[in-house]
Amino acid sequence: MSALYDDPNNIEGTTYGKRWLRHEWRQMAERQAIDNAETQKIVMALHGGGIETGTSEIALAAAGYHPATLAASVDGYGLHDLWLFEGLLPSRNGELHVTASHYDEPIATKLVENAQRCISLHGCTDTQANGRIQLGGLDDELRDIVLEELDAAGIPAEIASDPMLDGSLPDNIANKTRTGGCAQLEMGTSYRRSLFGINTRPQRKHTTNARFWLLVCALRKSMSRV
């Protein structure tokens, strides 16, 4: 990411964008086990916008914000910290892809290091997905809960066996939480496309469908269980 930012051809707001949110911490009671438990969880889309399409919108909604209006959710599952890096180019956004293990982004790193739990959202090819969401990351507890909730929602998923998809590298930025892990989702191109009525960067956030919200609900339920 440092090399990407140093490249004069890459201009924030033109070729790429960054969005993030860290909630305020408060402790009002004299005895309280945790400061705002929901603020110690983060949802990330490292390759959002036009890079791995659909992951920005899913991340926003899973963190508790409508992707079009940014209205906060009132479903009772809390609001979470958020990191998005988004490709804004009309094409060739893949050139902005930095692997999770080389993701030396200072703001994103601080956000993750502040968090106890993390869901990291990625896109993969249909061949890699093999008809299922591929789950990985080093937070085995959260990963297994996500699998349970996806199964309950009727969304095909499995634990990834492909080392390219399993998110098991300690250098993966999403594994740098306080608990030393994350739950990583790799979603195929066709599946991500199916979550929107119009699959373009300007229109995706406005055309989320029932399949989109089924996935989001499963992820939000998962985060509420840890």
The predicted-structure confidence for 112-142, as pLDDT tens digits, reads as follows: 999 999 999 999 999 999 999 999 999 999 9
**What does the alpha-carbon distance between residue 106 and residue 73 come to, in Å, rounded to a whole number?**
28
Q: Which pLDDT belongs to residue 23?
A: 87
- How many other CB atoms are found less than 10 A from the CB of residue 117? 23
The CA-based diameter of the chain, rounded to the nearest angstrom, is 54
Q: Which pLDDT belongs to residue 31?
A: 60
pTM: 0.94
List, in order of start, the domains of the chain with CATH numbers.
Answer: 2-23+38-224 (3.40.630.100)
Q: Which pLDDT belongs to residue 72?
A: 96
Show the low-confidence residues of the chain (pLDDT under 70): 25-39
**What does the alpha-carbon distance between residue 74 and residue 77 come to, in Å, rounded to a whole number?**
8
**What does the alpha-carbon distance between residue 177 and residue 173 come to, in Å, rounded to a whole number?**
8
Q: Which pLDDT belongs to residue 24?
A: 75
